[in-house]
Amino acid sequence: MSGSLDVGGVRLKSPVMAASGTFGYGTEVPLCDRRHLGGIVSKGIFLQPRLGTPPPRIAETPSGMLNAIGLQGPGVEALIRDYAPQWASWDFPVLVNVNGETVGEYAELAARLDGVLGVSGLEINISCPNVREGGMFFGNDPRSAAAVTSAVRQRTSLPVWVKLTPAVTDITEIARACEEAGADALSAVNTFVGMSFDLQSRQPRLAFHTGGLSGPAIRPLAVYLAHRTARAVSIPVVGIGGIAAAEDAMEFLLAGCRAVQVGTATFVDPNAIGKIVEGLRRYEELLRPPD
């Protein structure tokens, strides 16, 4: 697994990246062996600053966690001012996770980030509510997923990755739509919508009521969706979901992914990614095509 690789126009230092929203802006996580980082995807950003949702924002579930952060963030201008300059000095690529409430917002954000030093690519988060279509996720519908993708594609010269929403009837339909709309790679998958109730209050445990499920619990679902996606498109697929060890990353690579992203595992062990990359050395021969 040593040696860098090209994934959808981005030069990764290793096949293991930090997933959006689980590594901040790359400046926070202590104790992480950065030599092993394939690259990072920054916390999801909007054009404008966002407060985020009220607490409680997270709840633990069996082998997983629900989160409803509400994409809290400083907005794109602060990101360009405060973080991009630091990124420019790092030896691994940083992709920006771009979000919007309308196709226009995504496009404007992409345009603003185009050519910003330190930004190596964009990952479009299409698991955002489309305010124009009754709050349905852009990623739930091939047409709106494609609309966002091509709008972004037209406004940037940066590599464009699209991060797929898992809870759809047929993910290959969405994947192909994004590929045709000009995506350079697909990230599969985002969190699954879930809910949990607190018995004392009889209310949902999260103030936002629903949240995104992440962690080992979703791994078999994510491996399946990443596998189907990889078979449906010819652009590279980056596997995401419940990876906590080299063996887990291997499942996604065997499923046809070119690289992986690690999220929740970094909360458990700040150096999870470093350990995964070291562990992958044991499996290098497995990755050669069978003879």
Partner 1 sequence: MTYDVPAPLVSRRKVAREMWVLGFEAAPIARTVMAGQFVNLLMRPGPLLRRPFSVYRADGDVVEIVLSAVGEGTERLLDLTRGELVSALGPLGRGFQLDAGPGRVTLISGGLGVAPMPLAARDARALGLEVAWVHGARTQAELCSEADADRYYWATDDGSTGVHGSALDAVPPSEVGHVLACGPNRMLAAVAARWPDAQVAVETYMGCGTGVCLGCAVPRTSGVYDRACTEGPVYRAGSIRWADLPAHLHYRVTA
Ligand X SMILES: Cc1cc2nc3c(=O)[nH]c(=O)nc-3n(C[C@H](O)[C@H](O)[C@H](O)COP(=O)(O)O)c2cc1C
Give the chain's end-to-end CA distance (angstroms, integer): 20
Q: Is 165 in the site for ligand X (CB under 6 A)?
A: no
Cα–Cα distance for residue pair 241/233, rounded to 1 Å? 19
Interaction mask 45-84, partner 1, x per CB under 8 A: ------xxxxxxxxxx--xxx-x-x--x------------
| Residues with catalytic roles | 128
Interaction mask 238-267, partner 1, x per CB under 8 A: --------------------------x-xx
Q: How far is CA 83 from CA 89, 117, 136, 214, 241, in A?
A: 11, 10, 31, 26, 26
- Report the nearest approach of ligand X to the CB of residue 69 (Å): 5
Q: Which of 133, 197, 129, 128 is nearest to 163 (CA)?
A: 128
Binding residues for partner 1 restricted to 171-200, rule: CB under 8 A: 200
Residue-wise DSSP of 140-200:
GSHHHHHHHHHHHHHH-SS-EEEEPPS-SS-HHHHHHHHHHTT-SEEEE--PEEEE-B-TT
Amino acid at 254: L
Q: Is 163 in the site for ligand X (CB under 6 A)?
A: yes
Q: Please report how many Cα atoms fall inside a 13 Å half-sphere around the Cα of residue 85, on the Cβ side.
A: 4
Q: Is 210 in the site for partner 1 (CB under 8 A)?
A: no
3-state DSSP helix/strand/coil percent for the chain, to nearest 5? 35, 20, 45
Task: Tell me which residue has its CB nearest to ligand X.
Answer: 21
Q: Is 69 in the site for its own copies (CB under 8 A)?
A: no
From partner 1, its own copies, ligand X, none, interface partner of 237 (C-beta below 5 to 8 A by class):
none
CB of 91 or CB of 291, closer to its own copies: 291
CB of 67 or CB of 150, closer to ligand X: 67
Which residues are bridge partners to 6 per DSSP?
11
Amino acid at 226: A
From ligand X, its own copies, partner 1, none, interface partner of 192 (C-beta below 5 to 8 A by class):
its own copies
Residue 67 host element (H or E): strand 64-67
User: Which residues here bind partner 1, judged by CB under 8 A?
Assistant: 21-24, 28-31, 43, 51-60, 63-65, 67, 69, 72, 200, 207, 215-216, 264, 266-271
User: Which residues here bind its own copies, judged by CB under 8 A?
Assistant: 61-64, 66, 140-141, 167-170, 192-197, 199, 202, 210, 213, 215-221, 223-224, 227, 242, 247, 250-251, 254-255, 283, 286, 290
